[in-house]
Chains A and B, each alone.
Chain A
């Protein structure tokens, strides 16, 4: 909090000083809901650290607390303060579009971070910086398939999927990427059923318990993130069937990393909130410098499995 208010004050002072800091860029960010999960908490810390390390950048760091109305008000504040660019982590892909349009019409480039806004708002967005969830889903399918090939069961394996919260873009895109890629790489693997785990470990554990009752033979589980993947793993362990199942997730969490180290969980997608935050800031800087930035500016989210996990540091969230 102190850091944040210091930044706000220093930005205000810089604005007063006027020409003295004419060279520096003022970038405002309004985040979705810091503190609700470790990813967003780490993101904010990384964003502030990256901005401090760059002398040309002054930031105004705001958080909407998950509230659409507050985020729209923050957008208006940032427009009033005449910042040079605004980064927004949308609380809602539809509802923030008018505020984004307002900023764009005021001549302030808007960078959307982490989760994109709805398509009808694309005209008002300078660039989207974030993970490519369709590719993440596809990569998870490849991890699963490679594992089955190594085990020699790619001709008969049967899997289930536990997806994220129904209706969320990230959940839909990861499932889509996975379901499209799997038949391409492993045409004989059967996806028996998909049920949502709502990004919730406990819910996912219940879903997996039902799957274990329903299906006598499960070779693999794909979960929309590691939190749910570990929930599924817990259920399988309790039923004494974890050893037969390949667990693959996405967004590698510390619990997923530890389960991999313990040899219980096979693989995931490494998505670092630090990379996410740094990519957002860099995209904003590039836009302000007039560089040619792609509209969908994805940062890389590599595959991580038990085989190559040494190359990655354990996630802090």
Chain B
């Protein structure tokens, strides 16, 4: 087989003019938050770089990441799947099934050893030797380790692969773990969210294919360009927060006026994601814009942090769940009472001593 087609070849073959191609490069540069000087770099990369094969595995998950991905508008997922990447294996999106599908996986792994990108949606359960998730007759754990062995880089799609998400929530009967617990020798890009924003997913892939390297990651392995700030930092309701104007109840005047949702438990101040800038469904809206606080779905262990309507984590003790302020107030009250009692005894003792001396 001759050399794989470049992105540019594929686009030209699809009848896209060079002018449109260059426009596309400029738009991509803008979407990635890069300056206009990057557009020629993107064009050059797309003219010379062969399409990169991507293997997309599905572990314990709900397919919400795939559902989100296929709704990407900028760039259109059609462009990503058909033109930019060569999605050689994705059991929910590919035409092949059964043995044919598994054969495609093996073939890509062999042919592009050390060159392909492994995208993982969902995570592996470790309990009972991984028997809680079977793909192609074998535990998903085995498939994941096998496919990761020769990958160039690994993308962890969604909160499942990145943190564990709902299947790893307490008590986690299947012992589901995020993929970085299993794949320890490859660079992993975490794209958390339940699901992640479609444009963020395609943006990460576009960046990697265009520049042939990983995007800049933060301490926890998330791409800085999309996860560098909290929802709160770019929220359009932020002026109401700074002014001290809050929704106190779901049906009050503040709710109608679109005040800050901080007091009804919005997790925007503790959640790193691009919802308040990129938004959802072609930039139509996002939860806070729809009047509901952020639930922090892109944060580690968000299922186990207590109510979605409280800003403090629930602390379980003796079967009674309280948050930090309730515990603190109770302790401070107790100490106050103890101080009062101690002061009273001190005073009595002192009076007694005075009596003794007299």
A and B bind:
no
Q: Which residues of B are interface residues toward A (Cβ below 8 A)?
A: none
